Amino acid sequence: MRPILLKGHERPLTFLKYNRDGDLLFSCAKDHTPTVWYASNGERLGTYKGHNGAVWCCDVSRDSTRLVTSSADQTVKLWECETGVLLHTFNFDAPARAVSFSEGDKMVVISTDPFMEKQSAIHVKRIESDRFLQSSEDVLTITGPQGRINRVMWGPLNKTIISAGEDATIRIWDAETGKCLKESDPETGHQKVITAMSKSADGSHFITGSHDKSAKLWDIRTLTVLKTYTTERPVNAAAISPLLDHVVIGGGQEASQVTMTSTRVGKFEAKFFHKIFEEEIGGVKGHFGPINALAFNPDGRSFSSGGEDGYVRVHFFDADYYHIKV
């Protein structure tokens, strides 16, 4: 496995996202500037300048024309991917945490943090094809969950919205009415903060990672726990391979504890598990701090990891990886 080291961020990575074609990789970090790279050779294409705080999350439209980013500066910004032109800024009264385009890219769902007297909320905005018609009005606002909502995404056919965060509960909301339709079972679900949530390629199931040192695979419609992958470190990121029955999980100790330990003790590898059998099948070392972000290329032949050390590592699998008897 040969990694490419992408050096462009000055602060810890927070999120990684490939476009649908798998030729571009978008990275977010605490240094205010989302960056886009060529996924095949690690060449930096450009940055999106405009945020004044840590950028927590991003999503790219299906045709790779629009990028949406959420930031601690209490804004969500809509960009033109190719030119880096800022198309619109959505302003909030609290830091914006997670963001996700709907199927068809006509809407975007955003979560905002609890701040001052305000509680956390989920906002749905309509995205116009003409930038001059773009409005900042909410189509829907959902409140209810306690604590931060770390991840939000759309359910099948945009009929539902799925959220997860600090209260360790996954919820499915009706995207029309904002009503809570389902909550994860506290017995079988996570016991601590949920830090990561990522869909499978076909959208039928998703994986979550938590500080309870586990990752879980869920059915997207019923919220049934299908599999549990247990590690010995808090999980900050998890992703499902679109090619093989593998999942990759990353994490490590809290950043504040890292100086006391060596990289070996800190457990900063990305760990691979068999999706069906729940067994650990390998690990990839390299980062000098906890892994905060993971993403598989849509072709399944490479994956990237982003760490507290400020580096993005893109790992290309050797040919024999595909010949593993799974």
pLDDT tens figures, 188-244: 999 999 999 999 999 999 999 999 999 999 999 999 999 999 999 999 999 999 999
The mean of the pLDDT values for the chain is 92
What pLDDT shows up at residue 323? 63
How far apart CA 292 and CA 311 sit, in angstroms, is 11
How far apart CA 221 and CA 203 sit, in angstroms, is 10
- Whether 29 has a pLDDT exceeding 70, the answer reads yes
CATH number belonging to the domain at 3-322, selected among 1.10.3720.10, 2.130.10.10, 1.10.10.10, 3.40.50.1100: 2.130.10.10
Encode burial over 28-43: b for 16+ CB neighbours within 10 A, e otherwise. bbbbbbbbbbebeebe
- Whether 302 has a pLDDT exceeding 90, the answer reads yes
- Whether 297 has a pLDDT exceeding 90, the answer reads yes
Phi, psi (deg, nearest 5) at residue 319:
-60, -35
Location of structure tokens 């400020």: 310
For residues 106-111, give the mean pLDDT.
97
For residues 68-80, give the mean pLDDT.
97
- Whether 272 has a pLDDT exceeding 60, the answer reads yes
What pLDDT shows up at residue 144? 84
178's tokens: 């904002």
164 beta partners: 151
- Whether 93 has a pLDDT exceeding 70, the answer reads yes
How far apart CA 155 and CA 289 sit, in angstroms, is 33
DSSP codes, 24-89: EEEEEETTS--EEEETTT--EEEE----SS-EEEEEE-TTSSEEEEEETTSEEEEEETTT--EEEE
pLDDT band at 74 (very low <50, low <70, confident <90, very high): very high
What pLDDT shows up at residue 320? 73
For residues 92-96, give the mean pLDDT.
96
pTM over 0.85: yes
- For 134, the 3-state DSSP assignment is coil
Domain ranges of the chain: 3-322
How far apart CA 91 and CA 102 sit, in angstroms, is 20
Least confident of 55-69, 235-249, 258-272: 258-272
